[in-house]
Amino acid sequence: TTAPSTLPINGHFASIGDHDDPLVYEHGVQVIDEAKQFNPNLSKYLSLEHVSNAGFNYHLISVFGSQSTGKSTLLNHLFGTQFSVMSDQERRQTTKGIWLSKNKMQAQGGDNGSHMAENILVMDVEGTDGRERGEDQDFERKSALFALATSEVLIVNIWEHQVGLYQGANMGLLKTVLEVNLQLFLKDRSTTHRSLLFFVIRDFMGTTPLRNLQRTLLEDLSRIWTSLSKPPGLESSTIHDYFDFAFYGLPHKGYQPDQFVADVRTLGKRFREGKKDPRRDAVLGESLETGIFLPEYHRRIPADGFAHYAEGIWDQIVNNKDLDLPTQQELLAQFRCDEILREVLVAFDEVIIPFEEKQAEGIHSGEPLVLGGLGPAMRSARSKTIQSFETEASRYHKGVYRRKRAELEDKIDTRLKTLFQGQLNAAHRLGVKDFTEAVTAAVSIGQKKSSGYDFAEIVTSETKAAIEKFEKEAHAVLVEGAPWSNYKQELALYQKDLGEVSGQLRRDEMRRLATRVERWVRSRLSESVGFEFNALGSGRGGSGAPESGEKPSEGRIWDRIWKLFVDTVLDAERRFTDRASSLDAGVDEVDVGLWRLRRKSWGVLRARIEEEVMEGNLLLKLRENFEDKFRYDDAGVPRIWRPTDDIEGIYTRARESTLTLIPLLSRFRLAETSAPPPLERWIGHTPSSATPADEEDLPPIGGLDEDDGRGLDEEVRVLSDAKRQDLTVRFKKAADGVYVEAKRSAIGGITQ
Ligand code: GDP
Ligand code: MG
């Protein structure tokens, strides 16, 4: 269906498929071919002619008339087109189907051009009453319908001698035009579009004034109109409800060639340079000053949708369907809005996809990435995309346009929202990470400073900095007008997470504090408990200062240990509480910490005591205790054994005295009550705020922790019965040894 294949003119033949070559369209484009096929390259042609982006700023003129009445010749002269014309030698039909070409004549008006009609498109419609198509009225009807549905102006080309010949072929054509026009309005009553029927009377002699010819033609038309059966509701309509009329006479091209050319030029000027908004009456008059394209003639199909619209219309016509222009316009709107939507998304993608890819990379690698330049890119991409869609698509059916615009906004907003949230997410994760590092660093610097540091202060200032940074990043990616452009929730979540992190850091810090205090307790107890046990070795009692004169009773060793233990822990508790307050710890947290400290301290004490009573250690202490009592007198002077001494008596007293220590040391009991220390009362209730994690690393205490199965008795037992027995036997053996030695030395002293 390519144009030149039927046109052996001027020697130009383009290869099939070479549709981008402007030369292919030298003679215009064959919109409908002789087989009634629509040419899919129409839209390409309009692009090549730079009409597609003209919006509504274009005009369409169709020419009608009998075969070989010089229609193509007229158009070529008027518009500089190159529609093929019959050669005077061959005289056979040349124009087949419907051809379209853009006006090639330049407007020559001297003014600024604002009055010039731009982008005039001309359709050359095959005349059908000639010899070659015989009685085929079908194509005539269809092409008339097609022309009326699309064109603003219909040039009716007619010989002067045919005017008034009511039976003439022309009248058949006019009847068809009026009929199909009514058909159009069946479905399209709301639009009030009009058309201009522009009669060009050919071989106009001038003997009958144009005015008379005009009257005759109008009378004929009215008669035809009256004879037509009108659809319901349109019975009383007149021909003037739908048509304006204009008339122009042209002299014989062959006989008055100069006059013909001059008059055609005048007519052409009127088409190309007429004023845009003349009064309709003026069109009916003879003033050549008036322009012919009235706004109400325009079919309001944007230029970029024209090809698709025309194809849809033709499809309906050729398949004998009732032509429903409003529906066609809606379908066109859907088609074009979809196309425009895809087009604007291409530009959108170009800007946005790189960001999406970078962000996906960040997520994939697990390293959140705050994308630079995202905010400006999103803002400009969104507004540009919507703006260009609006510019192109708003010319189409309003309802469809609004729906598609909402669809477009939804599409891009879904993606922008994902980017936005991805960015906030990255800012969130990086922010939390930075915050953690900053607080940790500040604490470790603080730990090295002698003045110490205020944890709560560090957290407060770092939190402030972290939130400021987050808000700055979030603010940078706000897009005004986008429904998702708000980060309130994300900010709240961020603040909550910072709170959790600082809570965790504070708990860690509390743990470290607890560990430090425990270590302090351990070293204090290690020293003081050791001192008490070492004192046993002297046989003259424990921790009391010797110069006080008062001999600390061995029997009260546990009382002393308990007291120093309680004092130590109290001291530690004070240290803990002081430091915890600078950590901004809550009352509950401090309670739990102190409770844990007491329980752990008790464990420390127990372990320390166990160390002291380890077999060898205790036996050594008992032996020292005994030897001290046996070898020294009450004044602390070493005895020199003489045979007269009551070695046996002293030995027995000393041994019995030391032996009393074994049951005493077996259990941690206070002398006053001869009961275990008030461990339960001293440790206190488990605070209700203690979590399982708080209790997890605490060894059970007999008598306090029911699930342990051990009673308080067992908790305070220092030596088992078996150990006690064994210790007793071994001690006695050792004491016996000391006694024998003393005895021997006493005798030896005499023999010497
Ligand atoms: P179309 O079939 O209506 O497009 O007619 P063409 O433009 O192909 O012309 C048909 C024939 O009429 C050609 O031989 C032209 O030379 C001739 N012709 C063109 N203009 C005029 C005119 O003004 N008067 C007459 N009598 N013949 C013309
Ligand atoms: Mg022709």
C-alpha distances (whole Å) from 40 to each of 3, 239, 290, 319 are 12, 35, 36, 17
DSSP per-residue letters across 143-183: HHHHHHHH-SEEEEEEEGGGTT-TTSHHHHHHHHHHHHHHH
Please tell me the predicted confidence (pLDDT) of residue 285. Answer: 42
> Residue 600: what pLDDT?
94
pLDDT of residue 570: 96
Q: What angle in degrees, to the nearest 10, is found between the helix axes of 169-187 and 210-227?
A: 50
> Which DSSP state fits 38?
B
Verify whether ligand 1 is closer than 6 Å to residue 251 (CB atom). no
Ligand nearest to the CA of 66: 1
CB 333, CB 397: distance < 8 Å:
yes
Q: How far is CA 367 from CA 423, 427, 474, in A?
A: 12, 11, 18
Instruction: Judge contact between 123 and 147, C-beta under 8 A.
Output: yes
96 lines ligand 1 (CB under 6 A): no
**Cβ–Cβ under 8 Å, residues 188 and 326:** yes
Distance in angstroms between the alpha carbons of the first and the last residue of the chain = 151
Distance between CA atoms of residues 210 and 104, nearest Å: 29
Q: Which residues contact 484 (CB under 8 A, 6 or more apart)?
A: 413, 416, 417, 420, 421
Q: How far is CA 157 from the centre of its chain?
A: 62
Residue 491 beta carbon below 6 angstroms from any ligand 1 atom: no
Q: What is the number of the ligand closest to the CA of 257?
A: 1
Q: Closest Cα to residue 195, out of 236, 235, 148?
A: 148
Task: Decide: 257 in ligand 1 pocket, CB within 6 A.
Answer: no
Residue-wise pLDDT tens digits, 1-29 = 333 344 433 333 333 445 566 667 888 99
Q: Are 103 and 81 in contact (CB under 8 A)?
A: yes
Enumerate residues 6+ apart whose C-beta is below 8 A from 474.
423, 424, 427, 487, 490, 491
Query: Would you say the CB of residue 329 lies under 6 angstroms from ligand 1?
Result: no
Both structure tokens of 591: 């309670």
Per residue, the 3-state secondary structure of 466-495, as one string, reads: HHHHHHHHHHHCCCCCCCCCCCHHHHHHHH
Distance CA 541, CA 547 (A): 13
| C-beta separation of 68 from 130 below 8 A | yes
Contacts of 212 (CB under 8 A, 6+ apart): none
CB-ligand 1 contact for 119 (6 Å cutoff): no
84 lines ligand 1 (CB under 6 A): no
Rounded distance, CA 239 to CA 221, Å?
8
By most ligand atoms within 8 Å of CB, the mutation choice from 71, 82, 86 for ligand 1 is 86
DSSP 556: G
The helix or strand, by DSSP H or E, that contains position 225, with its residue range, turns out to be helix 210-227
Residue 202 CB less than 6 A away from ligand 1:
yes
Three-class DSSP category at 124: strand
Low-confidence ranges of the chain (pLDDT < 50): 1-17, 110-115, 130-133, 276-289, 541-550, 751-752
Residue 440 to residue 436: CA distance in whole angstroms: 6
Q: Which residues pair with 201 in a beta bridge?
A: 158, 249
Say how many Å lie between the CA of residue 158 and the centre of ligand 2. 13
- Say which ligand is closest to the CA of 86: 1
User: What ligand has the least distance to the C-alpha of 65?
Assistant: 1
E-strand ranges in 547-611 read: none
**Ligand 1 pocket, residue 94 CB under 6 Å:** yes
Check if 67 has its Cβ closer than 6 Å to any atom of ligand 1: yes
324 Rama sector, left if φ>0, alpha if ψ -120 to 50, beta otherwise: beta
Q: Which of ligand 1's atoms lies nearest the C-alpha of 85?
A: 8
- Write out pLDDT tens, residues 362-381: 989 988 899 999 999 999 99
pLDDT score for 510: 86
CA 635 to ligand 2 center in whole angstroms:
152
Q: Ligand 1 pocket test: which of 66, 68, 157 has the largest number of ligand atoms within 8 Å of its C-beta?
A: 68
**Residue 333 structure tokens:** 């709107």
Residue type at 591 in one-letter notation: D
Q: Which of 714, 605, 731, 557 lies closest to 658 in space, CA to CA?
A: 731
What pLDDT is stored for residue 108 in this prediction?
Answer: 57
Whether the CB of 203 sits within 6 Å of ligand 1: yes
Closest CA to ligand 1's atom 20: 70
144 C-alpha to center of ligand 2: Å?
15
User: Quick check: 48 and 19 in contact, CB under 8 A?
Assistant: no
- Which ligand is closest in space to the CA of residue 64? 1
Domains of the chain plus CATH, in order, are 33-323 (3.40.50.300), 334-486 (no CATH), 502-751 (no CATH)
**pLDDT, tens digit, for every residue of 125-149?**
987 664 444 556 788 888 988 998 9
Residue in 187, 278, 171 with CA at minimum distance from that of residue 228: 171
Answer yes or no: is the C-beta of 88 below 6 A from any ligand 1 atom. Answer: yes
